[in-house]
A = this chain, B = another copy of it.
Amino acid sequence: MNPSTAPQTAAQLASRFGLALQGDGHATVVGVSTLARARPDQLAFLANPRYRAQLAETAAGIVILRAQDAATYAGTALLADDPYSAFARIAALFDALDDVRPGIHPSAAIDASARIDPRAQIGPFTSVGPGSEIGADVIVGPGCAVGEDCVVGAGCRIGANVTLVKRVRLGKRVLIHPGAVLGADGFGLAMDGGRWIKVPQLGGVSVGDDCEIGANTTIDRGAMDDTVLEEDVRLDNQIQIGHNAYIGAHTAMAGCSAVAGSARIGRYCLIGGGAGVLGHLELCDRVVVTAMTLVTHSIREPGEYSSGTPLMDNHSWRKSAARFRQLDRLARRIGGPASAADDKDTE
């Protein structure tokens, strides 16, 4: 029997997760849902004030919410300072990680010099190259290509069609979603007599424990040193990490963002969707970059940073955009600094 389907009472959950209980301790749930769609045997949560109006109408058997929201709620509630985090921990009861079924699929192509832990599971149509090592309690999905000299630490989960090219070292419990490519050549080129010559990429990729890497994300290997993700870095889908970038622990990046070569991102940073960080820059810890911002210089102070212009209807936007072209002329007319270059906060 799958323990994830064991019913849970409100009293059990309150005790297990250290939450205050309001209402009926015998209220029992078998799963989770949203406020709008939960059935009486499901648990929901209220974190975003945007959804507060749904509280009056929810059919959820148990709701996790903040104490101040609970005052007006007549149903059974679990009180949490951070309802989303409490919900995350409870929801995990109902969706455990897939169990490892140890063994190598008969179709897999394993190099004679590769070492596969007997407790690892290797899917069909997966190849493992010379000198690579797959740890205990690992699942490597179907269609993966693990190249040479790679290490996959204990407890990792590698989705389907993932490629680890060369010299990729994963810590423990790293989760990689399908289609990701780690360890491809960094984009290193030198112009020589009118033609590009390729700069060899002799480094690797080092990924710390508990990192998560989204679908179709790419992380290039370093030119000489490694490209590094410290522990607990969380990357969404379709992110690009250039060669020799260094991402500090607990940093999270949203979909389609990118960090160019040799940039160094601090710990606990949040990089918004579609944002970009140019090469060789440094961001200190706890920097927040809003969506689709381009970071063009190093950031030394924690805080939130942005670029871009606000959303406008196209007719109005065209007028503002045309004036943007004239900005320096307009500023001079009203006696702004004589030259933009005189302004000390100019890039």
A contacts, CB < 8 Å to B: 31-34, 37, 48, 50, 82, 84-85, 87-89, 91-92, 94-95, 105, 107, 109, 123-125, 127, 141-145, 147, 159-161, 163, 165, 175, 177-179, 181, 184-185, 187-192, 194-202, 210, 212, 214-216, 218, 220, 224-225, 232, 234, 236-238, 240, 242, 250, 252, 254-256, 258, 260, 273-274, 276, 278, 280, 288, 290-297, 301, 303-328, 330-331, 333-337, 340-341, 343, 345-347
Contact = CB atoms under 8 A, between A and B. Distances in A.
B85 A190 contact: yes
A187 B291 contact: no
Contacts of A333: 334-336
Contact of A34 (B87, B141, B224, B297): B224
A233 to B, nearest CB: 9
B296 A273 contact: no
A161 B163 contact: yes
B322 A330 contact: no
Contacts of A250: 194-196
A251 to B, nearest CB: 10
Contact of A319 (B189, B190, B255, B328): B328
B320 A232 contact: no
A218 B189 contact: no
Given A163-B179, A312-B325, A324-B310, A318 B343 contact: no
Contact of A190 (B88, B195, B323): B88
Contact of A307 (B198, B218, B308): B308
Residue from the set A214, A238, A310 with the largest chain B CB neighbour count within 10 Å: A310
22 contacts: A85-B191, A88-B188, A92-B198, A109-B125, A125-B127, A127-B143, A127-B160, A141-B145, A143-B161, A143-B163, A161-B163, A184-B237, A196-B234, A218-B238, A236-B240, A273-B276, A288-B314, A301-B313, A307-B310, A308-B309, A323-B330, A325-B343
A323 B337 CA distance: 9
A332 to B, nearest CB: 9
A210 B192 CA distance: 14
Contacts of A258: 238, 255-256, 273-274
Contacts of A33: 224-225
Contact of A177 (B184, B225, B341): B184
Given A107-B125, A196-B250, A255-B258, 6 more contacts: A179-B216, A187-B234, A306-B311, A306-B317, A320-B325, A323-B336
7 closest cross-chain pairs (CB), A and B = A322-B340, A145-B160, A95-B200, A304-B314, A85-B190, A323-B327, A319-B328
Nearest to A38: B224
A190 B82 contact: yes
A328 B78 CA distance: 46
Nearest to A31: B202
Contact of A240 (B127, B144, B238, B322): B238
A304 B312 contact: no
A336 to B, nearest CB: 6
Residue from the set A160, A260, A295, A337 with the largest chain B CB neighbour count within 10 Å: A160
